[in-house]
Amino acid sequence: MTDYSLDLASLLASRLCHDMLSPVGALTNGLELLADEKDPEMRKRCFELLEQSAKISADKLKFFRLAFGAAGGFGENVAVEEAKSLVDALAANNARVTINWALGVASLPKPAIKVLLNFALLGMEALVRGGTLDIGAESRGGASEIVVRASGPRIAFDKAIGQALEGELGEDGLTSRNAAAFMLYQIAARQGGGLQFALSEEALVLGAVLPES
């Protein structure tokens, strides 16, 4: 593994730790409150908060395991329904985001699934005031085609993430926020495919075409 690959892996790990810090911290706080609380109703509330935090933690770990890691094996197809369930679980804690699915295929190669999951995550993060996330995937002409459209009252999208998706971000510009986007660029390049995005005040559209052979 090259030093550059190690840097990318470290940044992805940093991103994972950052996203897990809040729900895991909530678990710790809940346990501390539970240890000191004597009131039955308050203890019941503590247990509810612990259960919620545990579910959020598990949902995020399952999502990142496939989005960043080696879940599902190498070079294998992954059921699109599995990716859908992971995205739906991640979005379940944000009532302001509505997700619509248009899936024309039962499974996709693992690289395409990784792109779909990370596109969905970028779309959710762009909807800082809520909105709609439309996700579509199909296999056509020997290639996986993925599109994600995030639309809402305000769209937030870091310019450096767009540069990373296009492979125009230098090594010195990599951060934990854009490392996943650069990983997607590498996946697309390795597959002989391409990524694209379009940003306006109303929407962020992310697209990918990845040859399957």
What single string gives the DSSP state of each residue in 49-64? HHHHHHHHHHHHHHHH
Within 10 A of 76 (CB to CB), how many other CB atoms are there?
10
Segments in the chain below pLDDT 70: 1-6, 70-75, 170-172
Token reading at 136: 């579509």
What single string gives the DSSP state of each residue in 63-123? HHHHHTS-TT-SS-EEEHHHHHHHHHHHHTT-TTEEEEEEE--SEEEHHHHHHHHHHHHHH
Token reading at 170: 């230098």
Q: What pLDDT is recorded for position 205?
A: 98
**pLDDT tens per residue, range 24-59:** 777 777 787 777 777 788 878 878 888 888 888 889
Q: Is residue 212 a contact partner of residue 143, using CB atoms and an 8 Å limit?
A: yes
Q: What pLDDT is recorded for position 209?
A: 97
Alpha-carbon distance of 110 to 74, in angstroms, equals 7
Token reading at 3: 């030093």
Fill in the DSSP letter of residue 154. Answer: -
Alpha-carbon distance of 42 to 34, in angstroms, equals 8
Alpha-carbon distance of 171 to 181, in angstroms, equals 13
Q: Residues for the chain: how many in total?
A: 213
Instruction: Give the chain's domains with CATH numbers.
Output: 3-211 (3.30.565.10)
Q: What is the pTM of this model?
A: 0.87
